[in-house]
Structure 1
Amino acid sequence: MHFSGIIDRWALYDLHRKRSKDKHFSATFIADIDDREEFYSANIADVSIDLNESKKSYRVGTFSYESLIQSGNLVNDTLKGEVFLNENDIDQPNVIFVHGWRMDSYDRIKKIFHNRIMNDLGWNMYYYSLPYHFEREPENSLYSGELMISANIDRTIESTRQAIVDLRALIHWIKANKKGSVIIVGVSLGGWITNLIATLESQIDVVVSIFYANRLSYSIWNTIPGKFIREELEQNGVTYEDLIKYWNITDPSQALPKVNKDNILLISAKHDQYIDLKDADYLWESWGKPTRYVYNCGHSGIVLCRKKLANDTLSFIRNKIKR
C-alpha cells in the first residue's frame, strides 16, 4: 500500500475510536422522491451579519440565519458561520467553504486557503456549517456530525436536504446583496454537498470539489468510514440495493450540473481510503469529464498537500473569474 494510504488507515483507526454508542436506525420514509427541483427548492435566507473585529483590510465576524428546513432540533436549526468581508467590497468575489464530515472546526480548510486569500486576493470568505456540526451539534451527540450521516435513513436524507436548501438560501442572499462572483469550495463530505448543489443551483459561478464523495450509499457500503453504519443497516435487514434506492435523491451523478462545466474543478486522491476513487471517477464521467486533477496521495493530502491544493484551486478560480 502507498504510504499515503497507510496514513489514511491510521487516521481512520483513530477516527473510529469515537463512534456512535446509540443505535440510529430508522426507515419510515420509504417512498420514492422523484422531483429533485421541488425537494431542494429554496428561497433567500434572512441573513444577519455581526462584524465585531477588523483584521488587515477585512471586517470579521459571523453570519447567521434560521434554517429553511426545520429538523425540530433548535440547536441544529440555527445556522451560524464565520465571515470575512473585504473593507473595500465593491465587487469582490465571494467564496463559500463547505467543510467535511466530523470536522469540529474550520481549521483544516483555513490552513489551505485563508491566508492566501486574505493576503493576496482580498476575496470575501464565508465558512458554512453543515447540519449537526460545530455549534449545531446537539448535546446528545457524541461527535460533530454524528446525526447528519447515520443509519437513520430518513434523517440522513433530511439533513442533506437541509444542507442544500440552506446553502442555496445563502447563495441567493449573496447574489442579492453583493456584486461579485459566487464560488463554492467543498472538501470531502463538503465536496459531495458541493457536487449535489451544482446540479441544482445555476447562480454559482465556479465550483471546486476536493477529495469528494459521490454516491452516499456507495461510500457507506464500500469504504472504511461507513463500516459501522453499514453494519447497523445490515442488522436491520437493509441491503445495498435498498440503500441505493432510498438515498437516490442525494446522488450528484444522477443529474448534470447547472454550473458551466468549464467552471468546475474536481480534485481526487489516488490512494484515498476515505473515498473510493472508482466512485469519484463515476461522477467525473457522468458529468462529461470536467477539469480534474488526481493527486498521488491519500485523503491525508488535505493536510500534506496544502500548498498544491491552494495553488491549483486558486489558479483555476482566478482564471475563470479573470481576477
Structure 2
Amino acid sequence: MLLSKLIDYYALYDLHKDRSKENQYHIDFDHAPTNIDRDVFFEVPSSLADIDLNITSKENGYSIGEFGFESLRPSGDHPNDYVRGESFLNEVGNKPNVIFVHGWRMKGFDRVKKIFHDSIMNNLGWNMYYYTLPYHLERQPEASLYSGEFMVSANINRTVESTRQAIVDLRALIQWMKNNKQGPVIIIGVSLGGFISNLVATLESEIDALVSIFYSNRLSYSIWNTIPGKYIRRDLESHGVNYNDLVKYWELVEPNQALPKINKENILLISAKHDQYVHIQDADLLWESWGKPTRYVYNCGHAGIVLKRKKIEKDTISFLQNKLKR
C-alpha cells in the first residue's frame, strides 16, 4: 500500500510541473448548469452524415490513419471544434469496433496503446478508434499551456460544456458506427476517459459493452479531495466557491446520478484500491449506484495504468470476448 501511494505521489508531483499560470475561474450565473433535464442537455442535435477518414498507411491487414468530424456542440475555440482521432481499421469487414477514450492531461494515446493495441491488432483483428477529448492534443487551443487545461478547470460553465461536447460527439460517433459498421461497438475509457465513458453509458443505448478503468466519478469530489485538483480548488476558493456550491454546479455531469442505458451484464469496472487520483470511495459510489456490475479492484494506485497493464489487458479482453460470444 505504501509503495503504491508513493508512486502516485511522485507522479502527481510531476503532473503539477505543468499548471495554469493564471486563474481560470469563471461562472455565468444566468447559465449555471442546475435544474436541467440531462437527457435534453446531452441530446445529439443531428446525425453524422459521415466522418472524414484519412488513410496514411497499411500494415498487418489494417488501414491506418486518422478520422475526424465537426463537433456537434461547438465551443467557439476553433482547434477544439474539430473532433479528431486515430483509426486502425481491419480490411476484413464485420469486426467489433472499439473506441478508446484517454485520460485527463494525457499528451498522446501511448499509455492506452501500450495496454491494448498490439494484443487487439495481432490476436483479435478488431477495429480501433482513439477518440481525442475536448481541449486535448491537437484540439488544444494556442492559449492553453498544457493538454486538457481548458477541459477541467475553475471555469465552472466551460467544464460542464466541455463534458457536454465530449458526450454529444462521442454519442454521435457511436450512432454513426451503428449505422455504418457491422460489428458491435465497445467503449473503453481510462481515468477521465472512464468518467466520460460512464456518463455516455447513462445516456446512450447503442453501446454493446463498456469497460471503465480507474475511472473518476464526481468531478466536484475529485477537485476538492484529491491532489490533482488542488490548484483548481485553490482557484475556486479564492473566488468564494465552496464545496457545496461546486457539487450543485456539477451534479449534472455525475454518472452516479443515473442508471446505465445498456445491459449491466455488459459493463466491467476496474478500480485501484490505493488510487491517489481517484479515491476508491468515489469509485465505490458509482459501482453501488449502478447495482454492482462486474468489477475488479486491483491492489495498486493510479500508476497501475502502467504497472498493471498486462493484467488490465488480460481481464478486459477476457471479459469482452465472453460477452461477444453471447
Whether these two folds match at TM > 0.5 is yes
- Residue equivalent to 1:227: 230
| TM-score for the superposition, normalised by structure 1 | 0.98
Amino acid at match of 2:135: Y
- Residue equivalent to 1:130: 133
Displacement after TM superposition at 1:162 (Å) = 0.2
Amino acid at match of 2:175: H
CA–CA separation in structure 1 for the residues paired with 2:19 and 2:33: 30
Amino acid at match of 2:69: Y
User: Would the alpha carbon gap of residues 137 and 39 (structure 1) be closer, same or farther in structure 2, given more than 3 Å must change?
Assistant: same
CA–CA separation in structure 1 for the residues paired with 2:47 and 2:161: 19
Indicate conservation of the 8 Å contact 2:199/2:255, yes or no: yes
Displacement after TM superposition at 1:214 (Å) = 0.4
1:290 aligns with 2:293: yes
CA–CA separation in structure 1 for the residues paired with 2:2 and 2:211: 26
For structure 2, which runs of at least 5 residues remain unmatched after alignment?
none
Q: The residue matched to 2:79 in structure 1 has which SS?
A: coil
Displacement after TM superposition at 1:52 (Å) = 2.0
CA–CA separation in structure 1 for the residues paired with 2:33 and 2:3: 44
1:19 aligns with 2:27: no
Indicate conservation of the 8 Å contact 2:7/2:303, yes or no: yes
Counterpart selection for 1:183 from 183, 186, 192: 186
Q: How do residues 252-267 of structure 1 correspond to structure 2 at under 5 angstroms?
A: 252-267=255-270
Counterpart selection for 2:43 from 32, 41, 44: 41
| TM-score for the superposition, normalised by structure 2 | 0.97
Displacement after TM superposition at 1:106 (Å) = 0.2
Q: The residue matched to 2:248 in structure 1 has which SS?
A: helix
> Aligned residue pairs: how many?
322
4+ long deviations beyond 6 Å: none
Q: Deviations over 1:229-285 (max 9, x none)?
A: 011101111111110110011000000000100000000000100001000000000
Amino acid at match of 1:218: Y
- Residue equivalent to 2:243: 240
Structural RMSD (CA): 0.9
Q: How do residues 177-216 of structure 1 correspond to structure 2 at under 5 angstroms?
A: 177-216=180-219
Amino acid at match of 2:260: P
CA–CA separation in structure 2 for the residues paired with 1:261 and 1:102: 30
CA–CA separation in structure 2 for the residues paired with 1:2 and 1:195: 29
CA–CA separation in structure 2 for the residues paired with 1:71 and 1:22: 21
User: Would the alpha carbon gap of residues 31 and 110 (structure 1) be closer, same or farther in structure 2, given more than 3 Å must change?
Assistant: closer
CA–CA separation in structure 2 for the residues paired with 1:32 and 1:303: 37
Q: How do residues 8-157 of structure 1 correspond to structure 2 at under 5 angstroms?
A: 8-28=8-28, 29-30=31-32, 32-42=34-44, 43-45=46-48, 46-89=50-93, 91-157=94-160
For structure 1, which runs of at least 5 residues remain unmatched after alignment?
none
1:3 aligns with 2:3: yes
Amino acid at match of 1:284: W
User: Would the alpha carbon gap of residues 31 and 49 (structure 1) be closer, same or farther in structure 2, given more than 3 Å must change?
Assistant: closer
Displacement after TM superposition at 1:31 (Å) = 5.1
CA–CA separation in structure 2 for the residues paired with 1:70 and 1:134: 17
Displacement after TM superposition at 1:44 (Å) = 2.4
- Residue equivalent to 1:273: 276
Displacement after TM superposition at 1:22 (Å) = 1.2
CA–CA separation in structure 2 for the residues paired with 1:31 and 1:149: 15
Indicate conservation of the 8 Å contact 2:186/2:210, yes or no: yes
